[in-house]
């Protein structure tokens, strides 16, 4: 049995299948951990979701910002933009089943035995493991509730960017979802920057990548994340593992087999 880590598939179905073949992934005995953004940008979000659903018991998934956006578009609270490539999904007869499956995925996975943490964008430098678990669970409860659309309608805000233990519930949820699904840079006081997407090679002080900030989570954890395609080619220090190599932008889909630390690569194929 092997454990594989991947992220930001973004509807790149052909690349996903080829990458899994290259790595000899066996859905009957291996596990695939996915750090979010299964959908959008690429052309085949419906195929990706149907394929992954077919062996869902061998998956561990955290939601990314584009997965949550799909849920919001499906529920009617966000506009379906052309670049999402959601039309096929929204008209599919099994879209309800797949959306419900997505809604029941996690925002954070922590494997205490192997000291592994996975979220889409990262972990707030201000959080302990217990705080991160509590914040993730709170979001997951709302997404699984029958009135999940009302929750999502209130979530989109760039203004809640600093963690404080006395935040009201709505602001706490907004900060948490921004951290788990959108974070890249922080200011020295740990405030999140919600706008900069550039490589750290082209960004100067005061912005710092979240993973170089002083943190409260123990250094014994290995932390896997995606979301940040411009990190490709940038040194990301262990124990952090960046999994987004920008496949939907014409670059690569990458995957790590944990047991022997082998990386697998699949170049983007033209649409």
Q: Where are the domains of the chain?
A: 3-267
Specify the pLDDT at position 271. Answer: 60
Please state which CATH number belongs to domain 3-267: 3.60.21.10
- Per residue in 143-191, pLDDT (tens digit) is 999 999 999 999 999 999 999 999 999 999 999 999 999 999 999 999 9
Share of the chain above pLDDT 70, in %: 99
Q: Are strands 208-209 and 192-193 parallel, antiparallel or unpaired?
A: unpaired
Tens digits of per-residue pLDDT, 106-131?
999 999 999 999 999 999 999 999 99
Percent of residues, the chain, with pLDDT higher than 90:
96
Query: Which 3 state secondary structure label does DSSP give 251?
Result: coil
If residue 225 lies in a helix (H) or strand (E), which one and from where to where?
A: strand 222-225
Range in 34-38, 88-92, 233-237 with the lowest mean pLDDT: 233-237
Is 263 in contact with 10 (CB distance < 8 Å)? no
Find, among 173, 168, 213, 222, the residue nearest to 193 by Cα. Answer: 213
């Amino acid at each position: 049995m092997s454990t594989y880590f991947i992220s930001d598939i973004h509807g790149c179905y052909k690349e996903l299948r080829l990458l899994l073949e290259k790595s000899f992934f066996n859905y009957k005995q291996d596990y695939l951990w996915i750090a979010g953004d299964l959908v959008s940008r690429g052309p085949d979000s419906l195929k990706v979701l149907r394929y992954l659903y077919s062996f869902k018991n061998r998956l561990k998934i955290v939601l990314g910002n584009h997965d949550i956006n799909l849920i919001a578009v499906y529920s009617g609270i966000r506009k379906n933009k052309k670049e999402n490539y959601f039309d096929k999904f929204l008209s599919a007869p099994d879209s309800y089943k797949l959306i419900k499956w997505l809604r029941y995925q996690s925002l954070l996975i922590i494997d205490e035995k192997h000291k592994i943490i996975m979220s889409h964008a990262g972990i707030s430098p201000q959080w302990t493991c217990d705080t991160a678990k509590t914040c993730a669970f709170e979001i997951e409860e709302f997404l699984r509730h029958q009135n999940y659309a009302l929750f999502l309608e209130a979530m989109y805000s760039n203004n809640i960017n600093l963690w404080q233990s006395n935040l009201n519930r709505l602001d706490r949820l907004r900060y948490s979802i921004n951290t788990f699904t959108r974070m890249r840079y922080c200011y020295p006081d740990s405030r999140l920057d919600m706008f900069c997407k550039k490589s750290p090679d082209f960004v100067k002080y005061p912005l710092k990548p979240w993973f170089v900030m002083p943190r409260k989570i123990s250094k014994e954890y290995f932390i896997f994340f995606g979301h940040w395609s411009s990190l490709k080619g940038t040194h990301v220090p262990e124990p952090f593992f960046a999994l987004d190599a920008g496949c939907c932008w014409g670059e690569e889909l990458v995957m790590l087999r944990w047991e022997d630390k082998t990386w697998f690569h699949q170049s983007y194929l033209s649409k």
